[in-house]
Structure 1
Amino acid sequence: MPRRGAVRSRAGVRGAGILWEGTYVSYLLRVRLPDRPGSLGALALALGSVGADILSLDVVERGTDYAIDDLVVDVDPGKLPDTLLTAAESLDGVTVDSIRPYAGMLDTHRELELIDHVAAARDDRLQVLVDGAPRVLRVGWATVLGIGTHGIYRIAGSAGAPETHLADVPWMPLAKSTLLDHEADWVPGLWRDMNTMLAAAPLGAPDRVLVLGRPGGPEFRPSEIARIGYLAGIIGTVLS
């Protein structure tokens, strides 16, 4: 039986290559593979056999016998992402959690650059944060929420961040970074319809939080939640 996330991801990006017609198209693959010698090399060969070049690789999580990796790959325009999924999953023990178009910049010090940009900003540092967070943390959108006398309100939001009014957010104030239940009653229907995975972390105070959305998945891994918490903690200190 196909996994829900894989089916949704295929449908969500099937026509995305049209946006970059005439040039290389980049995709972000989240792959689970056996943590044994040769696994990554075999994956690179499999992807190369369908014309994909691996541009970068980040280890998201490592277990006792597996690894979760994020790979950014280039393919020729017109190449369907299904081809990448089929090539990767032709290998024993390899599964693809998601495939998404990728238009971010590739670098090895994303978090440090974002912290530096926020610290250097003269005005609207929170807007600088939410504008940069999607690329750094590989999510669809970012927003900062606060609690005031009239309840929850939005302080800043990235491009594509929903402006839906949240009448009730039972997990605020927030003490530490956490994976949010994306099917909970407080989640707006549109977010649930898009299967938006959610994570949040306090920004210097429990009543000001960074919320991250990843429409269509994949779900945030524990290591990502920890990474979000570290980043938000540092930036919260910068903002104070």
Structure 2
Amino acid sequence: MLLRLRVSLPDRPGGLGQVAKALGTLGADILQVTVLERETGRAVDDFVVSWPGAVSAEEVRDRMSAVPGVRVEGVWPTRDVPGSAPDYDLLMHVATEPSRGIATLVDALPALCGAEWSLAVADGAVLHASLAAPEVFELSEPPLRAATRASEGLRLMLLPVVAQGLHVVVARAAGPGFHRAELERAARIVDVVTTLASRT
């Protein structure tokens, strides 16, 4: 079972090693680590792990919280394939067929962002939706800049595409809210894709 864990831990020598040791003791195989933040004496890291058998988020949280100084901020299933480069694949698809840029972007973002679905919306109408996305989505007070928001049990990323007068929405139902590092990465991907798509 592939899981993503978001862990806050003391930012000191050996802190990451303690978490890795605890995960190994529990039988988890660490496939990837992404450092999201290092501030005020703490680090926030995302781990993609292969966990033997089925395990609930609560079990993982309970086991990892026993490590001194560690806070588990989220545990959720992931489709990440460590070692792959889905962002590069996305850009290649858009460069090959720029007229489908926004649709390709919307289809790719859930996997890129550890989310369940995404869609593009303009003037109250859904223009394109990934699998599992709702057919109708109301975006009240669309932001002028990339932003995060919580709504009806969902954690949302709202990514404006000013040149096309639309917003791309990415939704995560399980796991924590989107970290600012995730938001900044997604906003950059949207900027690159819309630049490529505008060259048709």
Structure 1 length-normalised TM: 0.75
Change (3 A) 1:81 1:200: closer
List 4+ stretches of structure 1 deviating above 6 A: none
Amino acid at match of 1:227: R
Q: For the Cα contact (< 8 Å) 2:5–2:74, is it kept in 1?
A: yes
2:126 aligned residue: 154
Instruction: Say whether residues 1:179 and 2:148 are aligned partners.
Output: yes
2:189 aligned residue: 231
SS in 1 for 2:144: coil
Aligned length: 198
Give the superposition deviation at 1:42.
0.6
Partner deviation per Cα, 1:106-136 (whole Å, 9 max, x = no partner)? 2364433322222223653322211211111
Aligned with 2:49 (options 67, 73, 77): 73
| Worse-matched range after superposition: 113-122 or 63-72 | 113-122
For 2:114 and 2:174, the matched residues in 1 are separated by 13
Structure 2 length-normalised TM: 0.89
Q: For the Cα contact (< 8 Å) 2:146–2:158, is it kept in 1?
A: yes
1:215 aligned residue: 173
Q: For the Cα contact (< 8 Å) 1:141–1:158, is it kept in 2?
A: yes
Q: For the Cα contact (< 8 Å) 1:47–1:84, is it kept in 2?
A: no
SS in 2 for 1:205: helix
Amino acid at match of 1:138: G
For 2:98 and 2:181, the matched residues in 1 are separated by 32
Partner deviation per Cα, 1:16-55 (whole Å, 9 max, x = no partner)? xxxxxxxxx1111111111111111111111111111101
For 2:175 and 2:51, the matched residues in 1 are separated by 22
Amino acid at match of 2:178: F
| Worse-matched range after superposition: 121-130 or 131-140 | 121-130
Amino acid at match of 2:120: V
Give the superposition deviation at 1:76.
1.6
Give the superposition deviation at 1:206.
6.3
Root mean square deviation, CA, Å: 2.0
Q: Which runs of 5+ in 2 are unaligned?
A: none
For 1:141 and 1:78, the matched residues in 2 are separated by 23
Instruction: Say whether residues 1:96 and 2:54 are aligned partners.
Output: no
For 1:119 and 1:94, the matched residues in 2 are separated by 42
Give the superposition deviation at 1:144.
0.7
1:107 aligned residue: 83
Identity of aligned residues (%): 29
